[in-house]
Structure 1
């Protein structure tokens, strides 16, 4: 593996006061921008809670220069990128990721929308209803309400205790006083001195700086304005409290330690290695999980939450906290030299594998000596007694270091090449090892980089193992390999994406742990309905049903696909794969057939808000159909959002696009509404689909080239390219799938698209509804 190419970094301040952070990483396939405004929810006048969040929404509604259909969101979506914004306590972030050729156009739109918002009253009235819908969902979301309850231990006058999301009552847009406050907030904070622009991409630092300069010149110039300091986090000398909610025990600590110091502490608190706090709690059956996070950090104030998921053994919170403080005492008195070296490796590895957007958002500081001293002081300030337990510091992550090289192929220890013709009993036994012909390696992606992807899929394997494998997944993530799982009917999939150097060792460890892993219940914390439906969708599409009979590794079969591996790593992957449980086998993959059926699947959710997914599979597996349907999805994404979310205001979770599920390509529509019924949502989606022929007929530009360029193997980030090729293999396509699809997209015509839309409306490939209520009764929507 070549020496890691860490991003080159440059900080500078431009003439108008705009602070700029530039990261050049040649390995990146895309560019990203993050614009941070030093103003958030806690900076608005007390009379208008939610004003900052409201303004963030309004800025996306278009300007005179770039109306909504040509604004940043629509433009980025057309180019296959990603875009969003986030309002936090003291900052507001706007961010997007795009291919390099159109990055400058994205920056122009971002600067324009920040500087020249229309703030039309009719737009505000519509957008306020969106925030009202989000508020209703927030008030019903279990996690959100748990967070509100958790912060009730803080001082009553601290803004963390306040309401900041915004709703119909807190945003009286009809009042002139509110309009003046909105304009004043924008004028005060949305100017160059209050902003930081972070750019990341494959371009040189000089090229990135050349992009930042015209961006800064479009902004309103202004000085850096100080933000008001918050009141004390807690009254008096209190520095923490306990919060018990259901099966979660939260220990909250307030302090003034630097964020990088607290992140260092959280890393080792969360470690699951033997000898650590979590391992001890699990051994006593008093806790099943522990997650320490920094909830808030601003102006020398920090809130650290240590969330302990209680186990089956009934032990008091006082006893659990005694163990927590005993570990903190041990940690405070330990020599951190080895941990600091390990932490430096961890942070360097994350910089090595982060994508463009994550890299642009990266604002963590290295662990300085000053931060270490501050952390020591914070721990010394806690009521700690000398440790009474035989704790151990976590060992080094084995995946962060190069694996020990194996001896020359064909030889055993003690042999030389002179013995090559001689056989041994050990070598005779090796002839019985598993044949891994079921694991194939595709060369559709270049193997000259540092990253690769590996897909493994079992049929009728034991399920519910994800929780037991989480410690391994965390170690792999730290080393630059993302490991994820998915269950689809009777199939179970493991995906590894990231640096290929540690991947054989991760796979070897997975092979060992799969046979030993015990089934455990997954996290049962309810999600908002639309997320619950998306989680259930793959299983609803499964052609291979879950097995009712008992399954075991002895009868399980598996196959796999590797992408982007150099030959030397391929060999190591094959060696590790030979140890996987189950039998390697060529598994016949059967795609679901809906053919003109309209099927309704009901999924129970915690909330009673209406939520619905409509999945429309292509009528065939031909690439011609897929190309036409992808172009339809490309064209309707913006209009669908505009019609249902902006104009009709029927929901705040509104989306559409192409989705591939276990080899099946189709159009997916999703809506969650606080006011509309399932029947009403279905009607709106149906009406939109029936109007699509008119939309296509009026389109002078179909966007063939913009969509086609998104399927260039050289331009696609590895995670996206590998997922497309895995889905292509499941669908029975050749390894030339990306190139063939790209060419077909380029040549699609109006007639091809109109034919595809007719196929959608005729349910030629079937319709699958997944909803959180019973099937609607309209005869024009038959269900099976």
Structure 2
């Protein structure tokens, strides 16, 4: 097997079971977590037209209990209690349900998943509550740029198609009190939630025979019926259209959308090939050409709809001010580039690098990520017929060249009230008008394929070397399977670095994150206030090469990166429309906790960066890398900016018990994040707080989201922000004020104290789950950031095995008393005088 070939262990083996269910199975090595994914081949476009959102609504309802499992014992609280992950997604023609848990919990999780799909309770009272959750989600999506863009594109289709309809659902479209709606709901469930419409994918560290035996249990029995045939309506946009959409707070974008129809099955893979090359930011790429002309900051491909040879493909260009004036040129350039790529570019080069990217991406994926990859019809496989994909690319290119695209400009400027387009069944209110693009002179384009990604092939000379850098900690990991994780932290003196320098480096690294991802490496660069952290995770052989090349960029970013840093610094103190508010608040927490000074007048230039690096100290953690990389890695580390060593790390952290930080302005929704740090950083207290957080997670979600219906963005859990561990509570609500949200959180904590013993007794604890590489590396790094020794994760796991309810109750009281402090970030002012502005 060549270094870049796909390990047989990540390829699913498909089986048709006697009941008609298709089962895909991947046997993982011992010690892995386990995952399952069910795809129901029915989605929003299959719901009754008189009840938009019914399919999405049913997806929500299925999580609210089943015949074998009451709501408090159903899949969501069970997976949360196992520290696992789960979710679901309703798309146009399919609905997915998926989870990942420790292997020991897989059987119970699968029983709960299949039982809820086959035998949901559909309780009328729960339906009323969940409709309010969908209403909150609808309100949030009504401000989401991509959602509104897709609705606007749908108005330009030249014949009726479900893509142009409204499918999100809201209070008005889901009349749960009506018998006709209940009949439609149960009818949709009975028609599609059966074996002929389902696929089950499993990735687990046990045998196929064990899975088949588990599927014989009563809870796993599914209704048996054949596949349901449904007609596909034509999808056309014969006249194209040029539109302008206003979205509050949005940066300028240009969407160039194509309606595609009648293509072979391989066309979705051919479109993925185009998307892979479109994402390149190397020399001669489409992005580089547009960026050199100062027309754009980013280029990407979205496919909001694809089914059975038809779909909508959107090439999205993030515009500069100059680009707004040259939109006609950009459209011409994009169309010319698509024509070149589908008819003139050397197929062997196109396919060769694409296949290598997909091969590399499959290495090191977590179980759930593997399943989500293989369920996609655009998934590349080693056995795919390349000739058929090439033919599909030619057919795709012919449609792209012959059709008139829908050209949509979106920005934050309100559209003129004249010539307004009234969308049919758009569901979302659209500030949309028809417009003509400004005229522009034609330019001849001389396209060539972008430079190949060197990180796919380049390697440093291997060599085993004694560890001579004191600030490097090297941790072995059995069965790393060619993967590794590398963390770097630069620490600065108080008052450093100047505001905006992190944004400059973030802008400089962002374009290289795509190339790193193509080489099988995730790149993250985080701002923790008085420290910056770089994480490289993935294909181990590529890590030293990537870090070597990034070092030059960190030392001397381009002038364009400094310009981008100025803009990003400004946007960092204002809320943007392209990201949910709760995520923006969470991103600000590390800065608040570090008490980092933010000097808005500090200069952003190379001299300021040189000074910051000169005063920095760095330390690093390498987990899972093979020993022959110890030499090249230390060679690269010797060239890093800053001085090797942990640095002082003593800052003026706030000692106030109640701190409140306001971010953004009050708006349609209120978002609040409450973070409660550990009162003392000891192994015993951390073990208790981790267990306490897991016990509260499901109950908090049920109380504030399902029962109180505060909103759809509700969660709590144990988190570490920068160097500070603790428990976080987060709520985004369209109805409650900040003071009301805070009061609900405090009331929940008071009530939870009375039920703690009962909840703890029913806790499905499955022990420590840090056996796989990524989880182990992250736990080691978080312990290091928090100032613990290297054996801290194991010590916490040992302490967790001996906790009792009395100790957990005492720590809940410490949390309620804010012994470690309460830190709030919200888009509102503090409700009372106990809070100090931070």
Q: How does 1:354-753 map to 2 (within 5 A)?
A: 354-362=365-373, 363=376, 364-366=379-381, 368=385, 369-383=387-401, 388-401=444-457, 403=459, 405=461, 436-443=469-476, 445-446=477-478, 448-458=480-490, 459=492, 460=496, 462-464=501-503, 465-517=505-557, 518-519=561-562, 520=564, 521-522=567-568, 525-546=577-598, 551-554=608-611, 555-557=614-616, 558-590=618-650, 597-604=657-664, 607-699=667-759, 701=761, 703=763, 706=765, 708-710=767-769, 713-714=770-771, 717-753=772-808
Task: Tell me the secondary structure at the aligned position of residue 648 of structure 2.
Answer: coil
Using the TM superposition, give the Cα deviation of residue 51 of structure 1 relative to its aligned residue in structure 2, in angstroms. 0.5
Rounded Cα–Cα distance in structure 2 between residues aligned with 1:239 and 1:24:
48
Match of 2:315, SS state, is strand
Q: What pairs with 1:303-342 in structure 2 (closer than 5 Å)?
A: 303-313=312-322, 315-331=325-341, 332-342=343-353
Aligned to 2:155: 152
Distance 1:661 1:226, change over 3 A: same
- Secondary structure at the aligned position of 1:380 is classed as helix
Deviation at 1:617, TM superposition (A): 0.7
How far the C-alpha of 1:543 sits from its partner, in A, is: 4.0
2:742 & 2:629 partners in 1: Cα distance? 50
Aligned residue for 1:420? Answer: none
Tell me: CA distance 1:312–1:645, structure 2 relative to 1, closer, same or farther (3 Å): closer
Partner of 2:89: 86
Distance between the aligned counterparts of 1:227 and 1:282, measured in 2? 45
Q: What secondary structure, in the 3-state scheme, does the structure 1 residue paired with 2:317 have?
A: strand
Shift of the 722–682 alpha-carbon distance from structure 1 to 2, 3 Å rule, reads same
> Are 2:149 and 2:245, in contact at CA under 8 Å, matched by a contact in 1?
no
Measured in 2, the distance between the counterparts of 1:128 and 1:267 equals 39
Distance in 1 separating the partners of 2:597 and 2:450: 42
**1:192-211 matched pairs, under 5 angstroms:** 192-211=195-214
Deviation at 1:48, TM superposition (A): 0.5
CA deviations 1:508-560 (Å, max 9, x no partner) are 11112222313224485442221221121221111443467553234242222
Q: Is the 8 A contact 1:709 1:742 kept in 2?
A: yes
Among residues 6, 9, 17, which one is paired with 2:12 in the alignment?
Answer: 9
Given that residues 666 and 828 in structure 2 are in contact (C-alpha distance below 8 angstroms), is that contact kept between their aligned partners in structure 1? no
CA distance in structure 2 between the aligned counterparts of 1:525 and 1:571, rounded to whole angstroms: 46
Counterpart contact for 1:595–1:763, Cα < 8 Å: no
1:248 to 220, 240, 253: 253
Q: 1:404 to 1:108 in 2, by over 3 A?
A: same
| Cα separation, 1, equivalents of 2:303 and 2:141 | 21
How far residue 618 of structure 1 moved from its aligned partner, in angstroms, is 1.0
Contact map agreement 1:617 1:767 (CA 8 A) in 2:
yes
Counterparts of 2:105 and 2:626 in 1: how far apart (Å)?
31
Structure 2 counterpart SS, 1:75:
helix
Alpha carbons 2:282, 2:450 under 8 Å: kept: yes
Shift of 1:674: 1.1
Q: Is the 8 A contact 2:112 2:219 kept in 1?
A: no
Q: How far does residue 52 in structure 1 lie from its aligned partner after superposition?
A: 0.5
TM-score (norm 2): 0.85
How has the CA–CA distance of structure 1 residues 150 and 573 changed in structure 2, closer, same or farther, with 3 Å as cutoff? farther
**Between 635-644 and 83-92, the greater mean CA deviation after superposition:** 635-644
Q: Distance in 1 between matches of 2:13 and 2:646?
A: 51
Q: State how 1:129-208 maps to structure 2 within 5 Å.
A: 129-155=132-158, 157-208=160-211
Q: Give distance in 1, aligned partners of 2:782 and 2:760.
A: 32
Counterpart residue number, 1:287: 296
CA contact (8 A) 2:158 2:239 kept: no
The alpha-carbon deviation at position 760 of structure 1 amounts to: 0.9
Q: How far does the alpha carbon of each residue in 1:73-116 deviate from its partner, in whole angstroms, 9 at most, with x for none?
A: 11111111101111110101110001111111111111111111
Alignment equivalent of 2:354, drawn from 333, 343, 348? 343
Matched with 1:430 is: none
Give yes or no for contact 2:159–2:235 (8 Å, CA) kept in 1.
no
Alpha-carbon spacing, 1:707–1:772, altered in 2? closer, same or farther (3 Å): farther
For each residue in 1:582-635, what CA deviation from the matched residue of structure 2 results, as whole angstroms up to 9, or x when unmatched? 232322334775556111010105843111111111111111111111111111
Quick check: 1:770 aligned with 2:835? no
Aligned-pair CA distance for 1:393: 0.9
In structure 2, how many angstroms separate the alpha carbons of the residues matched to 1:28 and 1:311? 49
**Secondary structure in 1 matching 2:829:** coil
3-state DSSP of counterpart to 1:289: strand
| C-alpha separation in 2, matches of 1:253 and 1:292 | 11
Distance 1:700 1:457 in 2: 37
Task: Provide the aligned C-alpha RMSD in A.
Answer: 2.7
Which stretch of structure 1 is more off in the superposition, 4-13 or 92-101?
Answer: 4-13
* Cα separation, partners in 2 of 1:591 and 1:222, compared to 1, 3 Å: farther
Shift of 1:330: 2.6
- Equivalent-residue separation in structure 2 for 1:201 and 1:215 (angstroms): 21
| Aligned-partner Cα distance in 2 for 1:172–1:447 | 54
Higher mean C-alpha deviation, range 18-27 or range 724-733 = 18-27
Q: 1:204 to 1:590 in 2, by over 3 A?
A: farther
Structure 1 residues 405, 208: CA separation in 2 closer, same or farther (over 3 Å shift)? farther
Deviation at 1:280, TM superposition (A): 1.1
Q: Matches of 1:666 and 1:384 in 2, distance apart?
A: 57
State the 1:636 CA deviation.
Answer: 1.1
1:66 maps onto 2:69 in alignment: yes
The gaps in structure 1 that reach 5 residues or longer are 411-433
Rounded Cα–Cα distance in structure 2 between residues aligned with 1:719 and 1:737? 16
Say whether the 8 Å CA contact 1:593–1:765 is kept in structure 2: no
How far off its partner does 1:241 sit?
A: 6.3
How far, CA to CA, are the matches of 1:356 and 1:604 in structure 2? 38
Q: Could you tell me which residue of structure 1 aligns to residue 223 of structure 2?
A: 220
Aligned mates of 1:752, 1:457 — CA distance in 2: 34
Structure 2 unaligned runs (5+)?
A: 404-441
Q: Secondary structure in 2 aligned to 1:29? A: coil
Task: Give the match's secondary structure for 1:553.
Answer: helix
Matched position secondary structure for 1:102: helix
CA shift for structure 1 position 649: 1.7
DSSP-derived class of the 2:174 partner: coil
Question: Matched residue of 2:647: which SS?
Answer: coil
Give the equivalent residue in structure 1 for 2:102: 99
Residue 259 of structure 1 corresponds to: 268
Q: Tell which deviates more after alignment, 654-663 or 361-370.
A: 361-370
Cα shift at 1:692? 2.7
Q: TM-score if structure 1 supplies the norm length?
A: 0.90
Q: Aligned pair in 2 of structure 1 residues 696, 657: CA closer, same or farther (>3 Å)?
A: same
Aligned length: 752
Change (3 A) 1:23 1:253: same
- Once residues 65 and 213 of structure 1 are traced to their aligned partners in structure 2, the CA distance between those partners, rounded to angstroms, is 15
Whole-angstrom distance in 2 between the partners of 1:478 and 1:675 = 42
Q: Identify the range of structure 1 (513-522 vs 595-604) with the bigger mean alpha-carbon deviation.
A: 513-522
The reply to whether residue 126 of structure 1 matches residue 126 of structure 2 is no
CA distance in structure 2 between the aligned counterparts of 1:748 and 1:591, rounded to whole angstroms: 34
Note if contact 2:194-2:223 (Cα within 8 Å) is conserved in structure 1: yes
